[in-house]
Structure 1
Amino acid sequence: MGETEYSEALKLGKKEYRARIAKGQFPYLPVLDEILSEADIQTEQNMGLVHVPLDFVVGTSTMGRTYSFAANFMPILDWETEFAVKWSNLSDAQMNEGIRDPIKAFEYMNRYYVLEGNKRVSVLKYFNAVSIPAIVTRKIPKLSDDYDVRLYYEYMKFNEITGLCSVEFTKLGNADKLLSLVGKEGRWDDETKEKFAKVMFDFSKVYNFRGGDRLDIKLGDAITVFMEVFGMDAMLEMSENDYNKNVINTWKEFAAEGEKHKINLVLDPKKVQTKKSLLNYLIPQTPKKLKVVFLYPREPKTSAWLYSHELGRMYLDETFSDKLETEYVAGVDENNVEQVLEDIIKSGADIVFCVGPQMMPNSLKVAVEHPEVYILNCSLNAPHPYIRTYYGRMYEAKFLAGMIAGAVTDNERVAYIADYPIYGMIANINAFALGVASVNPRAKVYLAWSKTKDYDRNKFLTENDLHYVSDQDIITPNDASRYFGLYKLQDGQALNLAMPIWNWGVFYEKLLQSVLAGSYKAEGQEQVKALNYWWGMSAGVIDLICSKHVPYGVKRLADHLKSDITKGEVVPFFGQIYDQKGELKNKGEHEMKPSDIMKMDWLVDNVVGSIPPMSEFVDNAKMVVELKGVEENKL
């Protein structure tokens, strides 16, 4: 009996051997001793008895037995050898009672190299066994900036908490995200392991059947994406039909996860062309009005930011009164956004603008389940194809405001008061600082954060002798003051100089024109990546207004530069740019990539201040920072 099995295994081995030779590849088992040296290793760790997935057993520890096997662990020595007889005896043992004795192996980067028991691995692989018991010694590589090494260190933490070695990831951060989604504090107990095993089995069965195993992501990435949409509890209750439907609906999310760059930044609106067919003239059509709903975290009159969007909503009502109707819902947060979305969709909503990044996570499930409704979120750097995001390139206006501040400062000091260190905000700060430096290279920009626990505006301005201040962009209706935009403190009062403008009405108008013309839908069908609209002065979404208090010559320069920025002839992030550590962040005569501008987590060299860690922010700001904060502050 064993001879027959060996003969079949030998065929598989020789087939693999020939295929590898034909491709110019090494035909034998990889050898760990030749892959790394002891100098590459930080330390070794005894892992004890581990049930190792056989798919992860890929080679041998030393050269001794490597030439007995093809690269797929099948034998390549002829029958008339002692090796073949021993292999056959193990085959008989597996069929009669099963192989129980553990092998000995080294684990390196979550792949296993056999020290003792190569033939046992070969036999079990031949019989398509899933795992094998092994006494494992882990070789831990030295921590470095290498992506795979960083990924492996995240895996080791995941493995220590869960005890799982078969769940792998290709994206940094996904291991921690999955732990958070499962929601178990500390090491997983048996109940948590059983629940996760159930959802992993049910999900992977459908996911792989639908072709998920052909995507450029690991199963760990895929289940993280799926669980982020639907949640662990819902997955435990899903039937196979539910999984089928939900995996299909979530496919764009899986595909986007496999993209190296998951986000496509749309920097300008596409030109909308509307054509009428002959049928339109012969049969006049009166389509139903689109219903557009805005979701706000609180009443817009209590927030300058929300009020600017509310002005945009009212502008839509006036501009498209015959084509759409709008309304808003206030008091929407991460806890009730899913139910609010379901309610407004039932009442006929066609387009929803979620004006708050905290709404993003729980909006995703609704967006996946209702692709007929367009759901957008006002934020940057969101990698979800089912929810498009939008924001303005405010850094263009901040660059101009910085240039004005640098020209008029009387002591080479300027204040910048920011709120959240989220995507886009750091670009605003740096652009302002570069604007200051462009006309006054000795001037410094002093940075404060209004959402930190110890923020004291008067103390900050007084102690640093700051007379010119860049503050919040617009007035809060319920708390009107003159402390907005760029102003000079004079006799305890604010003398307004310039005000950056968010023209949300223009943005919403152009976006809805694309919806009405059909180009919005077509744009989404062309893309696997998530679409992030990041429009600026060229689209009319961002502007800067100067008051009469800006000196004439400075205003002329600002107007000239604004015209050049609008035409794309001048960009704020161009040429040599150094950070606070003296590190070159952008080379001379080069324009910085938009994606690098968006993801900035560093400050330019003339900024005095830092990006605070999460712990320093007030509680009601932490949710926003956690979701959309730049990497530097997530400590």
Structure 2
Amino acid sequence: MYKNLAAAFAAACLFSLSPSTSAQPLKAGFVYVTPITEAGWTRQHEEGRKAVDKALGASVKTTFVENVPEGADAERVIRDLAREGHTIIFTPSFGYMEPTLKVAQEFPDVKFESITGYKTAANVAVANARYYEGRYLAGVAAGRMTQSNLAGFVAGFPIPEVLQGINAFTLGMRSVNPRAQVKVVWLNTWFDPSKERDAAMALFNQNVDVIAFHTGSTAVMAAAQERGKMAVAYHSDMRKVAPDAQIIAVTHEWGAYYTARIKAVQQGQWQTGNVWGGVKEGMVRVGDFGPKVPKAVQAEVLAKQKDVASGKLHPFAGPITDNEGKLVVPAGQALSDAQILSMNYLVAGVQGKVIK
């Protein structure tokens, strides 16, 4: 499903990044769902945009629009960028998928990249990262560090990507600490620092001593720092916000992908398709350990990261049971990409339900 475009991505990364001979720079637009903050989802995509500028220099002109809500506003902003002559437009938010597809029909000569989307068109490619690989590895660290055997998880929406993360984190914890449990709070928003903080505080009041999250701000990390608890940073390294609380960070790296895709347009080699890269491709990594994490735990996690990259370790290898007692992955088997992408359950060890 992903092989053709993944191969093209890899090949594009090998091409020379010398400036284009075109007199006019290629215009590339980026649409961000939240403000650009010090760390988080949007910050990582902004770092990706900056990497494009550094790699391609005067041959490209990048622009961005931040804090664009999903829905009608997104459609308007994407259309405006197309009208302004942007040759390629990146839309990194799941809720931008449908607006991107709609605008793409109106501008067949413009290339669109729906980041975290899953629907393609002749001029719309999709890309995502295997965040669950990093989540599993962070779970190993959390499983080693917890004293209460109870972790918290502040979650945005119950889409497959988030469920993958919760489940992989739980499986990682329980791989080294079978008694570990993960308590989930759903927010039904990607970015609301006040709600994120309140959810974290509520979890800490329920004997949670390590917390993870899938939301857009640093509020959960700040709450952990304030309460003297431990936390897993997501999207970015967040030690500036939580120097004592952070035990590990799951970071996303978009610079190489964005640069390769823009270079493909410049060379007339862009094609639609799907990319789903992870630790192996350098799109996801764990590290940035905090001061509380023993060297032995750090070494264990980094060794397992190498095993994920090589294919030796699969986070969703059986046996796996859901939290209602149903066997979902038999021993000796592992989930396929299609099964991971359609995940709609929580695994054993998760306290919570999938909100329909």
Give the TM-score category using the shorter length.
0.7 to 0.9
- Name which of 205, 209, 220 aligns with 1:467: 209
Partner SS for 1:571: coil
User: Partner of 2:201 in structure 1?
Assistant: 458
Secondary structure of 1:448's aligned partner: strand
Contact 1:488 1:497 in 2 (8 A): no
Q: Which residue of 1 aligns with 2:83?
A: 346
Alignment partner of 1:313 out of 34, 49, 65: 49
CA displacement at 1:563 relative to structure 2? 1.0
Structure 1 residue matching 2:276: 3-state secondary structure: strand
Instruction: State the alpha-carbon separation in 1 of the partners of residues 155 and 79 from structure 2.
Output: 35
Q: Tell me the residue number matched to 2:168.
A: 431
Q: Do the aligned partners of residues 442 and 390 (structure 1) sit closer, same or farther apart at CA in structure 2, a change above 3 Å counting?
A: same
Partner of 1:557: 300
For 2:328, which of 569, 581, 585 is the aligned residue? 585
Higher-Rg member (1/2): 1
Alpha-carbon distance in structure 2 between the residues aligned to 1:533 and 1:587: 28
**SS of the residue aligned with 1:604?**
coil
Larger mean CA deviation between 327-336 and 312-321 belongs to: 327-336
Cα separation, 1, equivalents of 2:324 and 2:301: 30
Q: 1:459 to 1:473 in 2, by over 3 A?
A: closer
CA 1:315–1:289 in 2, change beyond 3 Å: closer, same or farther?
same
Matched, 1:292 2:28: yes
Contact 1:296–1:331 at 8 Å: present in 2 too?
Answer: yes
Q: Distance in 2 between matches of 1:394 and 1:556?
A: 20
Q: Are residues 1:392 and 2:129 paired? A: yes
CA distance in 1 between counterparts of 2:200 and 2:106 reads: 46
Q: Distance in 2 between matches of 1:547 and 1:581?
A: 35
Aligned partner of 1:504 in structure 2 is: 254
Cα distance change, pair 268–538 in 1 and its aligned pair in 2 (3 A): farther
> Is this contact kept in 2: 1:473–1:500, CA < 8 A?
no
Higher relative contact order (CA 8 A, sep 6+): 2
SS of 1:318's equivalent in the other structure is: helix
Matches within 5 A, 1:185-204: none
What percentage of residue pairs aligned between the two structures are identical? 25
Q: How does 1:516-531 map to 2 (within 5 A)?
A: 516-521=266-271, 524=272, 531=273
Aligned to 1:536: 278
- Kindly tell me the number of residue pairs found equivalent between the two proteins: 330
2:290, 2:201 → 1: CA distance? 24
**3-state SS, counterpart of residue 471 of structure 1:** strand
CA contact (8 A) 1:269 1:510 kept: no
Alpha-carbon distance between aligned partners in 2 of 1:268 and 1:482, rounded to the nearest angstrom = 37
What is the rounded CA distance, in whole Å, between the counterparts of 1:269 and 1:501 in structure 2? 23
Cα distance change of structure 1 residues 406 and 299 upon mapping to structure 2, 3 Å threshold: closer
1:322 aligns with 2:58: yes
What's the CA shift for 1:472? 4.9
Map of 2:100 onto structure 1: 363
Counterparts of 2:328 and 2:186, CA distance in 1: 24
1:84-108 per-position Cα deviation (integer Å, ceiling 9, x unaligned): xxxxxxxxxxxxxxxxxxxxxxxxx
Alignment correspondent of 2:237: none
The one-letter amino acid of 2:275's match is: Y
Match of 1:605 among 343, 348, 351: 348
Structure 2 CA distance, aligned partners of 1:599 and 1:357? 15
Structure 1 segments unaligned to the other structure (5+ residues): 1-263, 277-283, 525-530, 613-632
The partner residue of 2:141 within 381, 397, 404 is 404
Name the counterpart of 2:229: 489
TM-score, normalised to structure 2's length? 0.82
SS at match of 2:160: coil
CA distance 1:510–1:345, shift in 2 (3 Å): same
User: Which residue pairs with 1:548 in the alignment?
Assistant: 291
The structure richer in helix per residue is 1
TM-score by length of 1: 0.48
Q: What's the CA shift string for 1:51-76, capped at 9, x where partnerless?
A: xxxxxxxxxxxxxxxxxxxxxxxxxx
Structure 2 portions without partners, runs of 5+: 190-194, 231-241
Q: Structure 1 residues 587, 511: closer, same or farther in 2, change over 3 A?
A: farther
AA aligned opposite 1:396: E
Relative to 1, partners in 2 of residues 1:287 and 1:536: Cα closer, same or farther, differing over 3 Å? farther
Tell me the CA shift for residue 317 of structure 1: 1.1
Task: Assess if the C-alpha contact under 8 Å between 1:309 and 1:504 holds in 2.
Answer: yes
**3-state DSSP class of the match of 2:41?**
helix
In the alignment, residue 539 of structure 1 is paired with which amino acid? E
For each residue in 1:164-202, what CA deviation from the matched residue of structure 2 results, as whole angstroms up to 9, or x when unmatched? Answer: xxxxxxxxxxxxxxxxxxxxxxxxxxxxxxxxxxxxxxx
Distance 1:450 1:434 in 2: 22
Return the alpha-carbon distance in structure 2 between the equivalents of residues 432 and 275 of structure 1: 36
Give the whole-Å Cα distance in 1 for the aligned partners of 2:268 and 2:224.
Answer: 39
AA partner of residue 600 (structure 1): M
Going from structure 1 to structure 2, the CA distance change for 1:409 and 1:342 (only over 3 Å counts) comes to closer
How far apart in 2 are the matches of 1:532 and 1:437? Answer: 32
RMSD (Å) for aligned C-alpha atoms? 3.1
The answer as to whether partners of 1:381 and 1:423 remain within 8 angstroms in 2 is no
Q: Which amino acid is the alignment partner of residue 313 of structure 1?
A: R
Is the contact made by 1:416 and 1:445 (CA closer than 8 Å) also made in structure 2? yes
CA contact (8 A) 2:97 2:117 kept: no
Q: CA 1:507–1:488 in structure 2 vs 1: closer, same or farther (change >3 Å)?
A: farther
Q: Distance in 1 between matches of 2:248 and 2:34?
A: 28
